[in-house]
Structures are given as C-alpha cells and as structure tokens.
Amino acid sequence: MTDDLYPGASELEGRVIREIVAVAMDAPAKAKSGHSGTAMALAPLGVMLWGRVMRHDPTDPNWSDRDRFIMSCGHACILQYGLAHEFGYDLSVEDLKEFRQAHSKTPGHPERGDTPTVEVTTGPLGQGIANGVGMALAERILRADYGEELVSHRTWVIAGDGCLEEGVSHEAASLAGSLGLDRLTIFYDDNHITIDGPTELALHDDPAERFAAYGWHVVVVGERANDLDVLEDATRAAIAETNRPTIVIIRSHIAFPSPTMMDTKEAHGTPFSADAITTVKKILGVPDRAFVSDPEIPGELIQSLHARREDRVAWGARVTAAGARGVQLLEQLDTNGVARITTKAQAFAPGSMVATRKAMQRAMDVYAPQTPGLTAGSADLTDNTGVILPGAQAQNALVPGGRQIHYGIRELAMTAILVGQAHHGGLRPAGSTFFVFSDYARPAVRLAALSHAGALLVYTHDSVGVGQDGPTHEPVEHLMALRAMPNLHVVRPSDANETLDLVEEFLSAKVPHTTALVLTRQDVRVFSEDEAAASAKGARRGGYVVRENDVAVFTLVSTGSEVSLCLQAADELAAKGIVTRVVALPCWKCFDAQPLEYRDQVLRRSIPSVSLEAGATLGWANYVDDSLGINSFGMSAPGDVVFDYFKIVPASVVAHVERVLSERK
C-alpha cells in the first residue's frame, strides 16, 4: 500500500480516496465519455472536506441547516458522485455504473433533482461560483432574520481554471467581496490544464492578487493538493475569517497519480485506456477490476459523522424550542417564503395611461410586506424597473438582513445569484434589468429554467418603444428567444392591472415557475371594466378573449402594449362594419398548457387571424394565420415615431384585415 500518496490521511480516508480515484477512471471508461483527471486530483480535497469539516448528515440529506456544496467545474461531477456513494447517500454502485446514461442518477454534469447532494445544476463554467454567492447570501439573510441558533451554515464551492476564466466569476466574486460575504469558500483547483493544453496558452492572471483586489481572504496552499492536513488547515483558516469570503488556491496535478496521463490535456476529457487504468490501480494498491467498492465504507463514514448528526438533532431541538419562530422558519424554507395575501394592491383606474413597469412598483409596495421570502434588486436600474422594497435596507456587511440587493452592472452574475438563492430554500428572489440586457444574463436564465429555480426575472423597456436609445437598446428578437427556452414562463402583461395580478400569482404560488416578466417603458391604456374582468378570468391561463363577438369575422391577437393597439383597431374596423374579436396571449407557455378545448375557444381558428407584436414574428404561426411585427433591428427616434416607422399601429391591423377579407370575397 503506497501510504505516502496522501499524507495526513487516516487509514479509512486513504481507502475512500483510492476508491474514488478508481471510480473516476472506471465510470468514464465504461461510458466511453467523461472527465477523469480533475476528479482524481481532487479526491483528497473532497474526502477531507466531507469527512472532517462539512456540516452534513447522509441520514437526513435535506436537513435545511446543512452546508451547501457546489461543483462549479461540473465536468468533474464523478468526484461528487463518488463522494455521495462513499458517504452513504442514496447512490449505489449500480448508479455509478450508469454514469452518463439515460435517466440515471449520475448524469454527465450535476443536475439538481437527479442526484443526492447536488444543490444546483452546473456545467457551463463559472456559474457555480455565482450560485454559491446566492446560497451564501440566502444563508446570511435567513440568519439575520431568525438568529444564528436556527440558521448557521456555510457554502463550499470547487472551481477550476475555466470557472475563473469565465466572466461570470469576475462579476460574482467582485460582488461577494463588496458585500463582505463570509461563510463562502471557493477551492480553486489550479491544475494548469485546459482542453487545448496548458492554461498558459491564454491565461497569465495572478488569482491571488485578483481575489485580494476583490476584497477576498486568500489562502495559497501551493503544491499540497494531496496532503489532507494541509487542506484542512486551509479550510479552518477560511472558517476563522468572519468578514469576507475566502478562496483557497490549490496547485493540483490533473490525473494524479497516473504516470502517463498526469498533467496532460488528454486527462481533462478523454477516458483512460485499460492499460492506464491498470497502472494507476497498481499504484493505488486497489484491485484491477471495475467499480470495486467496499460495502463497509459507507457505514463507517456515516458513523464518523456522528458529531454532525448530533448537531442536526440539536438544531431540531432548537427549532422546536423556538416555538412559533421555528415553525415560521420551517414553513418559509418549505415554501420559499410564499406570499400570504390579505391586502390586494389598489387597481389602476380604467382608461388611465400607466406603464406596466410602474405597476411593478405598486405590486412591490403592497405585496412585498406580505411575502416573507422576497428579495429584490436590479443590475443598477432599481428606480427604472420598479423593484424597490418598501422600507427595506440595502444588503451589505453591516446590514446582513438587507433584502434590497444592488447587484451592480452584472446581469449574468445577478441571475445566477438569484438561482442560488432560490435553490437554497427560504427565499423567493426577484432581479431586474432592461429587457435588451437579458442577452447578458441568458446563460444563467437557461440554467434557472433547466433546474426549475423559482426566480422572478423582471425585464422592463420591452420593445422599440424605448425609442431614442436606439437599436442597441431596443429588444426585437428577445421575446422569441426566451419563449424558445423550455420551462421558462415569458409573461408580457396587457396592462397595469394585469401586471399586478400576475406578480401576485408568482409571489403566492407555492412552487413558482421561473418567470421572465416583460414590462413596458411607455404608458399603456388601462383596460375598461369589461376588459379587466376578462383579464382577471384568463390572464393566469396564459391567454384569453379580451373582447368577444359571436359574429366576428376576424381575430386580432397580441401581447403587452399591443393589446391596446388591437382594441383600437377593432373599434376602427367596427366603424367600417367589420366585426372582430381581440385575444391577449400574455404567456405562451401557460396557454399551451391549457386544455385543447380552452385553447380552441380562445383562438377560434375557424376564422382568419392576425397577430401584432413589437418584435420578431417567428413562432406566431402556431397561433395565427398571419403576423405583423418587426424582423429587423430598431432605430433611434422618439418611441411613437419608431412605432409608426415599423407600422406597429392600429392602422396596420385595419389594413391587413381589410386586405384579407377583400381577397377572400
């Protein structure tokens, strides 16, 4: 037995490390796909962290005051799967054998909901760092609300060179340092290898200086990636730091201890050959068979965590002793702080002109105090987007319970941080920016949708109505781009009162959908009483008839501010003796989920139809016969001029209806 491979490891720890290193080769080899090298090199770190430091209990995996663990370098997920198996979580050897196979508990990158211990869906590099910032932020806020005796845990993130190269890590680390976000530790695996070759091909940063400049506590371990005692000392130093986050920089050697694969680019993503695996297993002193697992180890490791199990039991006793406060905490954790609405927001007057973004602020004024889990903020546009929480203080190190979060000009990190908050439990986060800047955030929006994070993404200035800011700031293709994303509910309310209703729906849903709420900059006419009644009845279903007529010969369909334009067109057509009906489709995903009978009743495809929307027309063919929109970039001019130029006006609808009806005669 080569005990000198892993200095400081106990006999049990050495056995565990060796099994994980072996499975890190076996699983990708069987799958003929996967990443062995990083998992092999970081096995000592994982065993040290999970065995000596991390607060967790495999007998109660969802204990809410557990530490959170994130593999930001998600390609190395076989490490996490190996750790979960060895430490007695519900992950068997058979599950490990199904690595990267269909419907397995061991997918190719960590997916929340598939695998025990996976807190967030990671894979695209760097986002796990921002998710970790969100989780640490959630812990801080809940700890401030309920006290350290009920909430007190840490967030641990393993990241690699790719994570630090991606821009999202800069955004998130800068914000975390600015907030003085303690109880967050990143282990940076500085292995100097990327897919193309040595990191020096494109990277000469000094991460220690960079993170120190961000305001982080920096611990440099150096060439001690295999020494468990050194790794533990560095981790304890992170715990001792109470005023800022910590990064522990570890110089590892990818694929250690393979004499042929170590420090090679092939070790990153190429499954090892049978000969290479045999050689490593000989060095490790383990049987040269695939997926060898000592069935005694999980029980021994669970027993070794006895003290942490006692922590969990003591925590449960403290929650019980806290009485109503403890009950409230458990309920908030279970529902992500669902709203309990007893006071409704005052409706806007029919016929008044109100931008839907202004309705967002009224919703916050009334519903935020009734939503215990709500956090809100923006990427430097708080006043513009209407997400100011009444009476809330700004989140910072001196105000750890602050619910108003200034994310700075960091749309991507903001969104990934929202995901971390939502998946932590206890919070219902909202973040906001201009709609055109959803481009910056899109990678994190995608993971939010993929992992079913209950986050509210508030996007204002939703169309060419932005006007004089010009085409750089006028979203045209964005509605369709986000509508194409599975699981994401893209919601574009028809007027201010509908906005109030749909915000209330999100806040009061026990399990909210990841929602992009798309709001206008320009004023929009508030519905009449009859129109408002139709909205109240159907908006939450994603589509409804705003104005019905049994003898209608045409259906006008639209979303957002263009619903009012279609209503005007309907009036103009009525004056010419042409009877039409008007339909609003504020959320396509919601509407598509309705029964076919309801959808047929709303759309009435037996008569001709046309849509009007100030954006790309792609996708409208599913709902209408023809579509009027904008399939080019915008222009710089006052908003009403831009609408006129692109013919997003009632006259366009009138002319289209007249032409189609004339052609059908």
> What residues are labeled active site?
411
What's the angle, vertex CA 355, arms to CA 350 and CA 356, rounded to 5? Answer: 90
CA–CA separation, 569 vs 648, rounded Å? 11
Phi and psi at residue 516, to the nearest 5°: -100, 110
> Locate tokens 């967050």: which residue?
184
Ramachandran bin of 426, using left for φ above 0, alpha for ψ from -120 to 50, beta for the remaining angles? left
Tell me the two tokens of residue 393: 């203080």
CA–CA separation, 584 vs 541, rounded Å? 11
CA–CA separation, 542 vs 594, rounded Å? 8
Residue 257 near residue 283, CB atoms below 8 Å: yes
Residues 6+ apart with CB under 8 A from 466: 434, 436, 473, 474, 475, 521, 634, 639
Q: How many CB atoms lie within 10 A of CB 353?
A: 14
Kindly write down the DSSP assignment for every residue of 520-583, as one continuous string.
-SS-EEPP-HHHHHHHHHHGGGT-EEEE--TT-SEEEEE-TTHHHHHHHHHHHHHHTT--EEEE
Sign of the torsion formed by the C-alpha atoms of 43, 46, 51 and 56: negative
Residue 160 near residue 189, CB atoms below 8 Å: yes
CA–CA separation, 353 vs 351, rounded Å? 7
CA–CA separation, 18 vs 10, rounded Å? 12
Residues 6+ apart with CB under 8 A from 384: 357, 378, 434, 460, 461
Tell me the two tokens of residue 588: 């396509």
Q: Is 62 helix (H, G, I), strand (E, B) or coil?
A: coil
- Bridge partners (DSSP) listed for residue 556: 582, 610
Element (H, E) at 185: strand 184-189
Q: Is 315 helix (H, G, I), strand (E, B) or coil?
A: helix
Residue 457 near residue 418, CB atoms below 8 Å: yes
Query: Which DSSP category does 49 fall into?
Result: I
Phi and psi at residue 376, to the nearest 5°: -150, 150
Q: Is 394 helix (H, G, I), strand (E, B) or coil?
A: strand
